[in-house]
Structure 1
Amino acid sequence: MTIEASHGRPLVGVVCDRFFVGEHDLHSAKHSYVRALMSGANVNPVLIPATRDIDAFDGYLDAVSGLLFPGGASNVEAHRYGGHAADDMHVDPDRDHVALTLMQGAAARGMPMLAICRGFQEMNVAFGGTLHTDIHASGHSVDHLEDLSDDLPTRYRYRHEVEIAPAGILSTLAHAPHVRVNSLHRQGAAALAPRLVVEARAPDGLVEAFRVGEHAFALGVQWHPEAMLEDDALSRALFEAFGASCRRYRHATQRTAAHRKA
């Protein structure tokens, strides 16, 4: 029996949002991300709370073989990238604290990461990039907007096309130079962090996917593959590739630990 088989599926951490429902202070992640990890990536998700009370992250990083940074209703605080907050900007400083610190720690270890929507924006900020507070005010297309009058399945259908960069992770998975995506966001990448390499762009030039250079699998996408896992080939391939990378990472770390004990 292999090391991997004897221990079951790898654990993947999912960073929560923190918000209030009435007087109740909650930490949560949408079930669509949990389902995509279990059925698409074949891993077991564990939720990581969003709280500034956490000041030591090595225990979390030691316990998991990958990290998912999901979308969320809030925005990264503008002061973290030298921007100016809009009056109506909803923020989650607790999530910023946890997500940005975990990203930097995971990158130092070579741990697999998948960052989606808000997570994509966090990844750019974590490594020194900046964001457009409002992409539409910055001259980008209205195709990125979410129409809250639509029902949920309609909202998460294809919004626009992206051009896939050659010789990247997505080009290997998509097998096509262009794909349709369900991209819904107000903020977006402005100046790209130096460590990041473009994986896809929208027709208006906005970066819609990137990877951390010289990292086996650390990918950010602005769209929502978790919502289209059943009927979109790239979405399924993306989660399968992330899961495979997590299994390779776990196997490598277990082998290293076994050698140290020998």
Structure 2
Amino acid sequence: MTAIPGMVWMPADHRLLGDHGHQMPFLLLGDKYARAVKVGAQAQPVMFPLADAAQVDELLPLVDGVMLTGSPSNVHPSHFDEDVTDPALPLDPERDSLTLALVRACVAHAVPLLGVCRGFQEINVALGGSLYQQVQNVPGRMDHREPKGAPFEEQYAPRHPIHLAPGSVFARWAGAETVMVNSLHGQGVNRLADGLRALAHAPDGQIEAFEVLGARSFAYAVQFHPEWRCWDNPFYGAIFRAFGDAVRERRANRLGLPTVA
């Protein structure tokens, strides 16, 4: 009998969908994120529909890792003491309420944590940092958004290099200190939370990856999108393999199983 793989909690987006003037609320998880966990990390994606912050303490012990995905929505700027600068940008306060609490719980209980794009931003905000609401409007910063309307292969194509901290896990995963990545974001880190350390920067100085200082398990996040066909990209694949290793170690410890080398 095949062993059940480690389970990774992937919080859903809350979105209104419909046509002809009628919309209903949906809970959504992008296939590319779930597939990266399934194939790249060799773990089982799970969702807890309608879970809220009050349930984090009872649900987190049931899983072996957490991945916070990207999303069309932005973290609400009220969480870093700012007003909304562009009301046209999508928000998801229900997701914010859950994920910001979930980040702090993962760090406190040594649950492997991987953040991608919005998830990267959520971790920074949850730990006390702030965001640029529109990086493209910040003097000296590039426009990090994707060419909307282009085929997905072009939107997720390598867009710019990032410079990785020498000796960091990211430099090890990349096999180099400079690597090309995709770029599909409007928000970005402004003030990095005190509990984080930047491990990668774009050419304009924008932070592209960080680690949680003092974390007792895997706790990394990236601004780019390594989930995109991670099995075809050695650097992206290495990120998910390392995450999967941490998830399996957590599962073994949680269930009292022998650790598989």
Asked if Structure 1 and Structure 2 have the same fold, meaning a TM-score greater than 0.5 normalized by the shorter chain, the answer is yes
Whether the 8 Å CA contact 1:17–1:49 is kept in 2: the answer is: no
2:38 paired with 1:42: no
Matches within 5 A, 1:71-82: 71-82=70-81
| Residue 9 (structure 2) aligns with | 13
Structure 1 pair 138–231 and aligned structure 2 pair: CA distance change class (3 A): same
How far is the alpha carbon of 1:169 from its aligned partner? 2.0
Pairing 1:116–2:112 present: no
Q: Distance in 2 between matches of 1:25 and 1:140?
A: 39
Q: Which amino acid in the other structure matches residue 61 of structure 1? A: L
Q: Contact 1:83–1:133 at 8 Å: present in 2 too?
A: no
Q: Is the 8 A contact 2:162 2:200 kept in 1?
A: yes
Alpha-carbon offset, residue 73 of structure 1: 0.5
Distance in 2 of aligned mates of 1:7 and 1:231: 26
Kept after mapping to 2: 8 A contact 1:15/1:50? no
State which drifts further: 116-125 or 160-169. Answer: 160-169
Q: Decide whether aligned partners of structure 1 residues 180 and 50 sit closer, same or farther in structure 2, where only a CA change above 3 A counts.
A: farther
Superposed CA RMSD in Å reads: 1.6
1:252 is displaced (CA, Å) by 2.0
1:148 is displaced (CA, Å) by: 0.8
Say if 2:135 and 2:143, in contact at 8 Å, map to a contact too: no
The 2-side partners of 1:98 and 1:246 are apart by: 21
Q: 1:143 to 1:50 in 2, by over 3 A?
A: farther
Which residues in structure 2 correspond to 1:208-227 (within 5 Å)?
208-215=208-215, 216-227=217-228
User: How far off its partner does 1:90 sit?
Assistant: 1.3
How many positions carry a matched residue from both structures?
Answer: 251
Q: Percent identity?
A: 34
Q: Structure 2: which 5+ residue stretches go unaligned? A: none
Gaps of 5+ in 1: 257-262
C-alpha separation in 1, matches of 2:155 and 2:129 = 28
* SS of residue in 1 equivalent to 2:10: strand
TM-score (norm 1): 0.91
Aligned equivalents of 1:35, 1:77: Cα separation in 2: 27
1:190 aligns with 2:190: yes
Partners in 1 of 2:190 and 2:234 — Cα distance?
29
Deviates more, 1:218-227 or 1:80-89: 80-89
Equivalent pair of 2:183/2:224 in contact (CA under 8 Å): yes
Distance 1:182 1:140, change over 3 A: farther
The match for 2:230 is 229
**What is the one-letter code of the residue matched to 1:75?**
N
For 1:146, what is the secondary structure of its paired residue? coil
* SS of residue paired to 2:256: helix
The amino acid that maps onto 1:19 is R
Q: TM-score, normalised by structure 2?
A: 0.92
Alpha-carbon distance, 1:59 to partner: 2.1
> What SS class does the counterpart of residue 166 from structure 2 fall into?
coil
Show the counterpart of 2:157.
157
After superposition, the Cα gap between the structure-2 partners of 1:183 and 1:50, relative to the gap in structure 1 and judged at 3 Å, is farther
